[in-house]
Amino acid sequence: MARKFNFSENVLNAAFFRQNGRCALCRRSLQDQDEYGHHVIPDQSGEATNKQDAFLRTVDNCVMICEACHWIVHEGGRWAMGAVPPPDYYEHSHPSRAAHQAWSGLVKREYLRIYNKKFAALVRMTT
């Protein structure tokens, strides 16, 4: 199934190397196991026709996680809905704490932009 904001191979490779080939959650090596390019802000959040939502397919919205952690993040298989962990949850997303915190701030701002836009549209529909 095609997704609106799939990651390119370049994005997946950049995230993998940024994390030194380790899971952004458990920090285990991703060598010799299934790995997933995970959308921090869910790809279902954006509109394919909105150029600003292209952020959803960038390396800044991608963390590489192992199969076990991917299952945990999606609450045992709830792929299309459920909790959305904040970027701070992926504590091994970057090689340094400072880089992780800067990235987390960026992702939080994008999250607020996308969801404030969705909320405003919902309010307009109900008024």
Q: Which token pair is 110?
A: 């994008």
> What pTM does this model have?
0.86
**Tokens of residue 70, six digits:** 């991917």
pLDDT at residue 34, as a whole number: 92
Name the residue range of residue 69's domain: 9-126
Q: Is residue 3 part of a domain?
A: no
* Nearest-angstrom CA–CA distance, 86 and 35: 20
Is the pLDDT at 1 greater than 80? The verdict is: no
Residue predicted with more confidence, 81 or 90: 90
Instruction: Count structural domains, the chain.
Output: 1
> Residue 2 falls within a domain, yes or no?
no
Q: What is the pLDDT of residue 76?
A: 66
Q: How many CA atoms lie within 13 A of 78 on its CB side?
A: 9
DSSP string, 61-112: GEEEEEHHHHHHHTTTT--SSS----GGG-TTSSSSHHHHHHHHHHHHHHHH
Please report the sign of the dihedral spanned by the C-alpha atoms of residue 72, residue 76, residue 80, residue 82. Answer: negative
pLDDT for res 122:
59
